[in-house]
Structure 1
């Protein structure tokens, strides 16, 4: 064996023995933490790297990987809320670099245009935007106060407009806002250079649907997870020559085996896509009692969803989850049990495999309350 070939064999063996990936985690107790997923000889472990204490109620993480900056939403529901920027060192260290005052109750944010960030404020029925970077003197660029004509089909949950996410379309020209309270998907056009958003229409859902979270597939297909109906809706998206983006629903399916109605108390959280597979998180379904579940669907060439399987989330109340770029692992953030779970994913069949690591983060939460673990993302 040549020296060069021997070196390649040794390098390959070393990589198989020891490798690592990083994960960012936020907790409602006011912290953001970085974890390292380490592999050694086929055994995986999660270890804590850095932690930054921000205060408030961190609820969502958006990662600008090019500049290694985390943007953290704040779900604080009283007093003063914030939006933070956190520098993420390659070795896992975290440092707060910016903070601006924001409206209460932010549950999601997204980067858009030429250096702007938009946020959805569930509690205060608002969509806001900021010019980056964030500073103590920063003012909101825009505030959209969202309204609805009276209470919705489920008055206890639809007492007011409740935007739950801000989604940038694949062209970067539009933002879509699933509004759980008003049963709408609100549509805005983007001026990339000024950051200004202009309301340009809406898609109206059936009463009691509760659209919450969405993901794109093949640039012209959008899937939305519906918290109140416990369904996933598939939409064909078109772009008229002039005017607003347009949605046309082509499928609705529950997240339960056999398209059955979800157990009472279930709340679908997020949908994620990888290749021709879609996954949905089911909170409080107790399919793997006491644990909840993740549902997998396969997608045909037209985007139609077919139930594939349901697996344990490894804890309770899986509020967020994320698929790594390689597609061979999923990290799950179980809110109430406050644990991070990593499971294997088959890149060919899309099936979720065994749990390979789990770690408790901070204090556990209580069901139906804004405490415990809030968000997880890969450092990618």
Structure 2
């Protein structure tokens, strides 16, 4: 029987949270997560695992390096080394479809950087980079320059979308899988002071972008003749009945491609407590033409859902950063009750590995 593991990244610094690093859980039957290791790390804000579930990568938010860990047969982590991220505050990392390159965006210094992956899983020196430039958005504190926040490959691997919270743009880039060279194809504008944060592809020609500052989801499509991308739809993520300040955080598309979910975090910024009542996830149904239609708002069951993921069997898991919990909200079609999977301080990312199931 293949063992199952879950890895939780947390905020650790006083300004950000009170986690201790990466929390490693063995997943047993009866939906139990048992803590087997706590790996000290500074703000491991985003994690990624390779296709063979043998190596885990962590981006240290607010700092300037990436850490590589070997995953043992027992799920425990053993550090292989650290690599400069090529900038400040690496906010997101992902592997390319070939598994030969790792990409990172540095939020505070405005760059996208590619790194070769060595045979043992460790990272080599950067192979290529793009430093994004443009006119900052009008938000006085959050839009002082380029602030790329996320990296997502199209299903065919030909396009890379980079939402830029600082410039109100979505950058479209390419990676040469042979030599790791990055190139920029286009930068598509969002609406003013929207703050594009995260994105998911519906297919090779449809992209859904979550805007943090405006609490909206934008639908972008690619013209088949010109290959140009354009914004065709913009929908709010907050319920009309909720007057609270809020910032959108995470977006995901379900495995079957029929739903797009977006999380709403109460509070005007990372330093505000949020609450007092539970936050929400907006659930959109994907139409045949790629447009979105609001289906419902799902309770996050607690405060500030910074991260969400769908498990292999369709359960929606959320990491509520301010209430220190990982919750299972159930399947998207019938989220009637929530269940606390585990209490963990300041959770911001969850990765499921090996034979994970719920």
TM-score interval for Structure 1 and Structure 2 normalised by the shorter chain: 0.7 to 0.9
1:111-168, Cα deviation, whole Å (9 max, x unpaired): 126411111111112211111138999422223222223x422222111111001111
- C-alpha change, 1:68 and 1:57, in structure 2 (3 Å) is same
The residue matched to 1:161 in structure 2 has which SS? coil
Question: What is the CA-CA distance between 1:91 and the residue it aligns to?
Answer: 3.2
Partner of residue 334 from structure 1, selected from 316, 320, 324: 320
- C-alpha change, 1:158 and 1:354, in structure 2 (3 Å) is same
Which has more helix, going by share of residues? 1
Q: Which residue of 2 aligns with 1:10?
A: none
Question: What is the CA-CA distance between 1:289 and the residue it aligns to?
Answer: 3.6
Q: Which residue of 2 aligns with 1:366?
A: none
1:256-310, Cα deviation, whole Å (9 max, x unpaired): 23xx396442011111111211111111169974321222122222222222222
1:193-237, Cα deviation, whole Å (9 max, x unpaired): 001011121101121111110112233321110001100111223
Name the structure, 1 or 2, with higher relative contact order (CA <8 Å, separation 6+): 2
Contact conserved, 1:20 with 1:39, CA < 8 A, in 2? Answer: no
Q: Which residue of 2 aligns with 1:5?
A: none
Question: What is the CA-CA distance between 1:325 and the residue it aligns to?
Answer: 2.0
1:23-57, Cα deviation, whole Å (9 max, x unpaired): 220112252122244443xxx4332133322x322
Q: Give, in whole Å, the separation in 2 of the partners of 1:101 and 1:216.
A: 29
Aligned length: 337
Partner of residue 307 from structure 2, selected from 308, 315, 320: 320
Contact conserved, 1:296 with 1:351, CA < 8 A, in 2? Answer: no
Q: Give, in whole Å, the separation in 2 of the partners of 1:251 and 1:262.
A: 22
Q: Give, in whole Å, the separation in 1 of the partners of 2:143 and 2:275.
A: 29
Contact conserved, 1:52 with 1:96, CA < 8 A, in 2? Answer: no
The residue matched to 2:289 in structure 1 has which SS? coil
Q: Does 1:83 align with 2:57?
A: no
Contact conserved, 1:113 with 1:190, CA < 8 A, in 2? Answer: no
Q: Which residue of 1 aligns with 2:16?
A: none
Question: What are structure 2's unaligned runs of at least 5 residues?
Answer: 13-19, 268-272
Contact conserved, 1:113 with 1:193, CA < 8 A, in 2? Answer: no
Q: Does 1:111 align with 2:95?
A: yes
- C-alpha change, 1:135 and 1:378, in structure 2 (3 Å) is closer
What are the residue-to-residue correspondences of 1:48-87 with 2, within 5 Å? 48-53=35-40, 55-77=41-63, 81-87=64-70
Partner of residue 311 from structure 1, selected from 298, 301, 320: 298
Partner of residue 75 from structure 2, selected from 68, 74, 92: 92
Q: Does 1:252 align with 2:234?
A: yes
Q: Which residue of 2 aligns with 1:271?
A: 251
Q: Does 1:207 align with 2:192?
A: yes
What are the residue-to-residue correspondences of 1:183-202 with 2, within 5 Å? 183-202=168-187
Normalised TM-score (structure 1): 0.81
Q: Give, in whole Å, the separation in 2 of the partners of 1:289 and 1:39.
A: 34
Question: What is the CA-CA distance between 1:73 and the residue it aligns to?
Answer: 1.1
Contact conserved, 1:288 with 1:312, CA < 8 A, in 2? Answer: no
Partner of residue 216 from structure 2, selected from 231, 234, 246: 231
Q: Give, in whole Å, the separation in 2 of the partners of 1:108 and 1:306.
A: 28
What are the residue-to-residue correspondences of 1:79-158 with 2, within 5 Å? 81-102=64-85, 103-112=87-96, 114=98, 115-133=100-118, 138-149=124-135, 151-158=136-143
Question: What is the CA-CA distance between 1:238 and the residue it aligns to?
Answer: 4.2
What are the residue-to-residue correspondences of 1:142-181 with 2, within 5 Å? 142-149=128-135, 151-181=136-166
Name the Cα RMSD after superposition: 2.7
Q: Which residue of 2 aligns with 1:27?
A: 10
Contact conserved, 1:72 with 1:85, CA < 8 A, in 2? Answer: yes
The residue matched to 2:133 in structure 1 has which SS? coil
